Structure 1
Amino acid sequence: MSIWVVLLLAVAAVAYVRLSPSDQGKWHNAAPFQSVEEKHGKGFYIWRQAAEDDGTATLAALDQIIRAEPRTKLLAGSLADKQLTYVSRSKVVGFPDYTTIGIYQTPEGQSYLEVYGRLRFGRSDLGVNAKRIKGWLGQLQV
């Protein structure tokens, strides 16, 4: 009998992870606006680089690369807003990771392209966000 309870709890946990809705307000406006070029933690990865011109062409190219990624969809934002947030789900369980890309300007007028990936569930993404983002940037050749 206890094996059925464990199995039911496991199925419920997977269903919760896969079916839980994404709060746009929480995940879309979460860009860190860091002064670092690259930072990696247990559950996040940040990449930032000075953008050529105003950065909109690079942002649009990165958007196209991300939209072509399997199990990844736009959650919020637009190119006109210069900030977009995507949700990418793992293949088996469907764990969601959120990635926000955007163009940000310093008070001095320098534009930066920033990519910020983070997990929703757990304490460590096991480097998945860094690997995914570096793959996208490799296609972008920045």
Structure 2
Amino acid sequence: MLDYVIALAIFAVLAVVIYIRLSPSDIPKYNQCAEPREIGDYNFDAGFIAVRAMTISETDMRGAINRVILQTPRTRRVAGTLESNAITYETRSLLFGFPDFATVSFLQPREVGNETPLLVIDSRLRFGLYGMGVNRRRVLGWLEQLGPLTVAP
């Protein structure tokens, strides 16, 4: 009897992992700009948003942030181009392949009282309700790699 329970538990775990790995994502749903916010960090159970002033042009920042994000293991661009306002990336966790989505966009001058364009990174999970701070750590790591190209709040 115990053998059947163990086998059933293993099967259930494998079924969940396969579902997570193969389940299609509604990319247009994730390739949306975050609601305009002032400069700062915004924590949510399912994600994290960072809004930063930039010390370089928006065009140069698009290339710089794209290079930094694509250096992240298990990360690929899934929507948008360097010319579009919303660029979305998918990063999968190492063990189970849980997908997280990060959308990079830019607030134009005077959208939230800003004088210059602002960088917005909205990172959130696809499955579950709580990300254990993974998205926050990832985004702050990207911003750290950008160094003096952004201004911390």
Fold shared by both chains (TM-score > 0.5): yes
Q: 2:81 aligns with which of 71, 75, 78?
A: 78
The ranges of structure 1 where at least 4 consecutive aligned residues each deviate by more than 2 angstroms after the TM superposition are: 30-36, 50-54, 106-110
Structure 1 residues 22 and 30: CA distance shift in structure 2, 3 A: farther
What's the CA shift for 1:59? Answer: 2.1
| Count of residue pairs the alignment pairs up | 142
Alignment of 1:131-142 (within 5 A): 131-141=137-147, 142=150
Q: 2:43 aligns with which of 29, 34, 40?
A: 40
Unaligned runs of 5+ in 2: none
Question: Which residue of 1 is the match for residue 128 of structure 2?
Answer: 122
Name the TM-score, length of structure 2 as normaliser.
0.85
2:39–2:51 contact (8 Å) kept in structure 1: yes
Partner deviation per Cα, 1:58-100 (whole Å, 9 max, x = no partner): 1210111111111000010011113210000000100100000
Deviations 1:35-66 (A, max 9, x none): 35210121110000233465221121011111
Report which stretch shifted further, 91-100 or 14-23. Answer: 14-23
SS in 1 for 2:52: strand
Query: Which residue does the alignment assign to 1:62?
Result: 65
CA distance in structure 2 between the partners assigned to 1:22 and 1:63 by the alignment: 21
Task: Determine which structure has more spread, i.e. the larger CA radius of gyration.
Answer: 2
TM-score by length of 1: 0.91
Note the residue ranges of structure 1 that are not aligned, 5 or more in a row: none
Q: Provide the rounded CA distance (Å) in 1 between the counterparts of 2:28 and 2:143.
A: 26
1-structure distance, mates of 2:20, 2:27 = 16
Deviates more, 1:23-32 or 1:77-86: 23-32
Aligned partner of 2:19 among 2, 11, 16 = 16
